[in-house]
Structure 1
Amino acid sequence: MESTAEVTAGDIARLAGVGRAAVSNWRKRYADFPQPVGGTTASPTFRLVEVEKWLTSHDRMPEQSGAERLWTALQHGSADPERDIPVLARAVMSPRRPKAGGEHLKAALAVAAEIGTEDALAALVDRFVDIRGRRGSVATSAQVAELIAEVVEPAGKSVLDPACRTGSLLAAAATLGAARLTGQDGDPDNVTIAGARLFHCSDVRVDVRPGTLQEDAFPDAAADVVISDPPGGGNWGYDELAGDLRWEYSLPPRNEGELAWVQHALARLRPGGRAALLLPPGVAERPAGRRVRRELLRRGALRAVITLPAGATAPFNTRLHLWMLRRPDRDDRARDVLLVETTGEWDEAATTIKAAVRAHEAARQLPEAMIGRAVIVEAVKLSNEDVDLTPARHIPGGQASLSADLILQRRDELVDLLGRLPAVVPQAVAGDGEPPAAEITVSELVKNGLVTIFTDPEIRVRTNDVLVPAIGSRPRIDVAGSADDGRVLGPQCFLLRMKLGYVDPWCFAGFMASDANLRRITSMGSIPRVDVRKAHMPRLPLERQVEYGERFRRLREFADLLRLAAATGEEVTQMVAEGLVAGTLRGEL
């Protein structure tokens, strides 16, 4: 029986490793291109088997990875491939691979057996998260999950996520040595995918079940750590749960579901246990939640409120808060609260957050360099009429609090930076005006096995990988250095891995960053999206590539130093001005 699976133009582009514009051109140029069989005029669908035959006959079908072959096998004959992903994942995880099911499931199971259980499950998890994400489902980014796991220190502990979605937070805790992982979610498909994500954790006790606030799967849990990115809104079960014993800090208001999850987390901790929850910023200030917030402060349960940078995780247009809590011991009293406000680059923000949390937990003063970004406030001072816990409203705006020594130290650093600039100003020699060589597209380099493109946000970066943001009108193209080795890629980014000895990464990155290529790879819509496959690269022998690469590397060194000097100059200007106003510095020049 021939497959009836249908695919969109976007699916065809991904299958062929090209941009959507290429598919549109094929439809116009080739009379034998498959005709639409469904969809709409603006978004038609095509029969998958016909598309594959056409791509193969026109030598446009690239060699597929194991993950791509698995997905293709599942698509054949499936009326709803998304719904079949959890079905296939359960079959792959079953000790006895079932023989029942449609032909497409049997074919997909055969591919799964070929590529191995771990790789098959990883591919299914990635595909499920990607599809749900494109349909608006929120998933916690790998970088934020990793940060949360680091600040709660799960090594050797039992960890619970009461709203685990697809299990990214639990997976991050497993990576850092958690001894037991427990999770629940109201969506049975999420439960399956979370189980698939954690299937390889053979040395950890894993238990993921369906469950909600109303139907808690673990009512007797006493976890060491609770971590979660819970759903919000008003549909949390106010009418059914009004008399529940979990509401030790007052009944959560009808439209404050997040505060119900906060109290649920505290109720499922052992005394002294720690929790970290991602919450919308409104939870810190909305009038309806004042009473609960005041009780959390009075009892010493709230330990920190941290504002994450914009774009750190979905929803990317919101600066989420990370609330850190502790279930009070019998002898606990009201404590002070750490408030942190972070902006800018993620790596710097994460470093600030971890340093601030460690200092606070160790009862140490915050480093002087954190003035203006973090502050420790007595709980009683936050328990005013509004009980507004928004960090930015309590952190002194002030470089005025900085010492004269620190201001003078930063000034000396600026002088040093400016002194280094002349030595790295790039040399320039006139050329003949001819481009260096004939060109080849990145798509062709991928087909030839010289470049591999990754978009999985959880993939680990290696030294010499080329990193390209997936969104932006002028994306900054970087080459990973030794400091990047081993970190997770994060969301909305391409990772291009060269076949070293054939393609020089600095040469590749330099040519990709040219204006001509930026125009090729960047869409012109309201949200400029990047398609790295459209970039053109010169055909050069390796020794010439290395020469170009060294020049591009030196240009980047100069640009980075110039940018750092400019930023430091602005910072020193503001520091000196504030120091003069506060009297920290003398008003003499």
Structure 2
Amino acid sequence: MESGAEVTAVEIARLAGVGRAAVSNWRRRFADFPQPTGGTAASPAFRLSDVEAWLIAHDRLPEPTGADRLWRALRHGSADPDGDLPVLARVLLSSWRTPAEARRHAAVLAVADEMGVGTALAAVADRYAEVRARRGVVATSAQVAALMCELAQVAGQTVLDPACRSGVLLAAAVAHGAAVVAGQDPDADHVTIAQARLHGAAVPAEVRAGGLGADAYPELRADVVLCDPPGGGRWGHDELGEDPRWAYGVPPRGEGELAWVQHALARLRPGGTAVLLLPPGVAQRPAGRRIRRELLRQGALRALITLPAGVTPPHNTRLQLWLLRRPDTAHRAREVLLVEAAGLWDETRAAVLAAVRAYEAGQALPEELAGRAVVREAVELSDEDVDLTPARHIPAEQALVTADLIVRRRDELVDLLRRLPVTVPPVTPGGGEPPAAQITVGDLVKKGLVALNTDPATVVRPGDVLVPSIGPRVKVRVAGPADDGRPLGAQMFLLRTRAGYVDPWCFAGFLVAQANLRRMTSPGSVPRVDVRKAHLPRLPLTTQLAYAGHFRRLREFEDALWLAATAGEEVARMVGEGLVAGTLGSG
């Protein structure tokens, strides 16, 4: 055991379930607070045993969850607890341990056995993702991972992720009903964490070490390939230039993403589907135009979708989804769907799915997608530049927006605006004092009044409170009938309140107060959310129900306001484009 294990102020705050400012305040107010034993002046380190003793003496150490006890045991037994997370996962995954391993990890293994190995492994995978995010290494967001699974229709399919990192896409595929999942990654730690994330999956799941240069599945022909490949252009041009996978052309040195595109196609059965998340430059860089032209010529590219910024890391980039199919005699795309998605995520998801479903069925795109989606002949896209950026090709189709559609949309907007005032919530001056008694979400979980779950495969039920675990914008909502039965997905908290004790609408309403958002959200380039830190008032059920009614009306008003704003933007755009295209008169 490492009796001299040290922790930073951030780790002390996590240990005590408070913000970092509270730790700074303790250091100023209490003369007996432990003195730094290392670190720097800007980021001091403290001996863990001294900190725990102080927290216990001052009654500031909350009752730990199983994950809290796991990290505490790991900190005591390791000089680098964050770096040892993959080591811990390997030990937990192993069915046989050496005596030395058993002795070294005795405290951690005892906690894990008490928690259950599956729960402990899930906690390790989540903590690893959190640590990597703080270092700038981020995973595909839960919402984009879910959309990729929906577009590929993974249910009942064999799914491969050839660059799986920590297994987020594979876990999403399992949650969406995949029959078999397989992944590879060249990083041994990633392989271990992905295995931990998939431990106990109800379907066959395997993760191996491998990559472009040392493919772990050379003989596999999957039904579906999902991939968010590593960034950067290097891919092994000199070593792999003669590889038979490059059926569409040898990728230039700086076009590593196009190597992954072709690798994905090579690992599909004929007619199989691939969905890749790629940076926007792949669709337009001059060096890649020969391969893009060949993908079009052979009918492999089905759709290219530009996503809004902020829906998945990096949050300042509008990434693109490429939908591909390995050509066979029955499936050879002669037309390509191009989508320029915008707006909030629910609107984006609905628009993308509607466009893809209509395109795949050979139907005309819905009228409401005019200006956001278009189907183009592949040969038409194969011009000199072969620039596949959707925004470049969609504006010319504005003439397809008919005058009747514009008039209909305008009338719908007028009707919506007419009904909007009645949704504005009434306000009544109160006594000016908020409820005094407070309790944290963490304490509600310990008392069994709220169940907290982060397992991506958890089935959502109406009334569950859903909170994202990663920023930049925290949108808390109460699940409705449309959510019933769907999987939670990655990077989400699900909070299920105990009926008759905690009302979900009251719970969610207080949760989104600005004070709580500040408590829950950590600073940094990738804000992390810990919902357990939120404070809620202690209220009798009758009072909770009164608050719940107000919060429901407030949410209905917010939804109506968002709908009006979205419809207004659409009408303004359609009228402007209609004037330009001559669809509307100027008189």
TM-score calculated relative to the size of structure 2: 0.90
Deviates more, 1:287-296 or 1:521-530: 521-530
Instruction: Write the mapping of 1:443-522 to structure 2, written as runs, cut at 5 A.
Output: 446=444, 449=447, 462-466=461-465, 478-485=477-484, 498-511=497-510
Q: Which residue of the partner structure matches residue 57 of structure 2?
A: 57
Offset of residue 538 of structure 1: 4.4
2: distance between equivalents of 1:390 and 1:402?
A: 21
Distance (Å, rounded) in 1 between the aligned partners of 2:416 and 2:138: 42
Q: Which amino acid aligns with 1:43?
A: S
Contact 2:163 2:185 in 1 (8 A): yes
Q: Which residue of 1 aligns with 2:290?
A: 291
Query: CA deviation digits over 1:471-491, x for unaligned, max 9?
Result: 889966544433345556678
Q: Is the 8 A contact 1:4 1:78 kept in 2?
A: no
SS in 2 for 1:83: coil
Question: Conserved in 2, the CA contact under 8 Å of 1:274 and 1:327?
Answer: yes
Is contact 2:141–2:491 with CA below 8 Å preserved after alignment?
Answer: no
Residue 516 to residue 217, structure 1, CA distance change in 2 (3 Å): closer
The answer for the alignment partner of 2:338 in structure 1 is 339
DSSP 3-state at the match of 2:250: coil
Correspondence for 1:240: 239
1:142-153 equivalence runs, <5 A: 142-153=142-153
Alignment partner, residue 433 of structure 2: 435
- The answer as to whether partners of 2:398 and 2:581 remain within 8 angstroms in 1 is no
For residue 541 of structure 1, report the CA deviation from its aligned partner: 2.7
Matches within 5 A, 1:41-52: 41-52=41-52
Question: In the aligned structure 1, how far is the partner of 2:364 from the partner of 2:33?
Answer: 68
CA contact (8 A) 1:154 1:225 kept: yes
1:98-497 mapped onto 2 (5 Å cutoff): 98-101=98-101, 103-204=103-204, 206-329=205-328, 335-396=334-395, 400-431=399-430, 433-440=431-438, 442=440, 446=444, 449=447, 462-466=461-465, 478-485=477-484
Distance 1:522 1:194 in 2: 26
Deviation at 1:112, TM superposition (A): 1.5
Query: Residue type matched to 2:390 in 1?
Result: P
**Which shifted more, 130-139 or 418-427?**
418-427
Q: Secondary structure at the match of 2:384?
A: coil
Of 380-389 and 156-165, the range deviating more from structure 2: 156-165
* Deviation (angstroms), 1:225: 1.7
| Native 8 Å contact 1:73 1:104 kept in 2 | no
The C-alpha deviation readout for 1:147-167, integer Å capped at 9, x for no partner, is 111211223332221111111
**C-alpha distance in 2, partners of 1:515/1:108?**
37
SS, match of residue 270 in structure 2 = strand
- In the alignment, the residues of structure 1 paired with residue 93 and residue 522 of structure 2 have an alpha-carbon distance, to the nearest angstrom, of 40
Q: 1:96 to 1:72 in 2, by over 3 A?
A: same
The amino acid of 1:113's aligned partner reads D
Structure 2 CA distance for partners of 1:181 and 1:35, relative to 1, 3 Å: same
Aligned-pair identity (%):
65
> 1:97 offset after TM fit, Å?
4.8
* Conserved 8 A contact 1:38-1:46: yes
Structure 1 residue 36 displacement after superposition = 1.5
Supply the AA of the counterpart residue of 1:52.
Answer: E
CA deviation digits over 1:214-254, x for unaligned, max 9?
11122222222211111132321111111222111111111
d(CA) in 2 for partners of 1:586, 1:234: 50
Residue pair 2:301, 2:333 contacting (<8 A) in 1 also: no
1:521–1:530 CA contact under 8 A, matched in 2? yes
Q: Distance in 2 between matches of 1:148 and 1:492?
A: 16
Task: Output one character per residue of 1:259-291: Cα deviation in whole Å (capped at 9) or x when no partner.
Answer: 111111112222222211111111111111111
Give the letter aligned to residue 304 of structure 1.
A
1:58-73 → structure 2 map (5 Å cutoff)? 58-73=58-73
Whole-angstrom CA distance in 2 between matches of 1:174 and 1:474: 27
Aligned AA for 2:36? P
Segment of structure 1 superposing worse, 417-426 or 467-476: 467-476
Q: CA deviation at 1:412?
A: 3.5
CA contact (8 A) 2:463 2:480 kept: yes
Q: Distance in 2 between matches of 1:275 and 1:525?
A: 34
Q: 1:316 to 1:490 in 2, by over 3 A?
A: farther
Conservation of the 8 A alpha-carbon contact between 1:145 and 1:172: yes
Q: Distance between the aligned counterparts of 1:211 and 1:109, measured in 2?
A: 29
Superimposed CA distance per residue, residues 350-403 of structure 1 (whole angstroms, 9 cap, x where no aligned partner): 222222222222222211211111111111111111110111111126654223
Q: Secondary structure at the match of 1:76?
A: helix
Distance 1:550 1:392, change over 3 A: same
| Unaligned runs of at least 5 residues, structure 1 | none
Partner AA of 2:409 in structure 1: R
Structure 1 residue 120, shift from structure 2 partner: 1.4
Unmatched segments (≥5 aa) in structure 2: none
State the TM-score, normalizing by the size of structure 1: 0.89
Report the CA distance between 1:15 and its aligned residue: 1.3
Q: Is the 8 A contact 1:338 1:377 kept in 2?
A: yes
Residues 94 and 528 from structure 1, CA distance in 2 versus in 1: closer, same or farther, beyond 3 angstroms? closer
Q: Read off the aligned partner of 1:426 and give its amino acid letter.
A: P
Instruction: Give the direction of change, closer, same or farther, for the CA distance of 1:42–1:310 in structure 2 (3 Å limit).
Output: same
SS of residue paired to 1:220: coil
Relative to 1, partners in 2 of residues 1:285 and 1:498: Cα closer, same or farther, differing over 3 Å?
same
Deviation string 1:131-177 (CA, Å, 9 cap, x unpaired) is: 11211113112222121112112233322211111111122222233
Amino acid at match of 1:106: A
Q: CA contact under 8 A between 1:4 and 1:77: conserved in structure 2?
A: no
Offset from partner CA, 1:309-352 (integer Å, 9 cap, x none): 21221222211111111122257656111111112211221222
Residue 81 of structure 1: SS of its match in structure 2?
coil
Question: What's the secondary structure of 2:260's corresponding residue?
Answer: helix
Q: Is residue 2:554 matched to residue 1:555?
A: yes
Q: Give the distance between the partners of 2:548 and 2:273, measured in 1 at CA.
A: 48
Q: Contact 2:171–2:456 (CA<8 Å) still a contact in 1?
A: no
Tell me if structure 2 keeps the 8 A contact 1:299–1:332.
no
CA pair 512-114 structure 1, distance change in 2 beyond 3 A: closer
Q: Within 1, Cα distance between the matches of 2:355 and 2:71?
A: 44
CA distance in 2, matches of 1:534, 1:112: 24
Pick which of 164-173 and 478-487 moved more. 478-487
Deviation for aligned residue 1:195: 1.4
CA 25–453 in structure 1, closer or farther in 2 if over 3 Å, else same: farther
2:4 counterpart residue number = 4
**1:63 and 1:447 in contact (8 A); partners too:** no
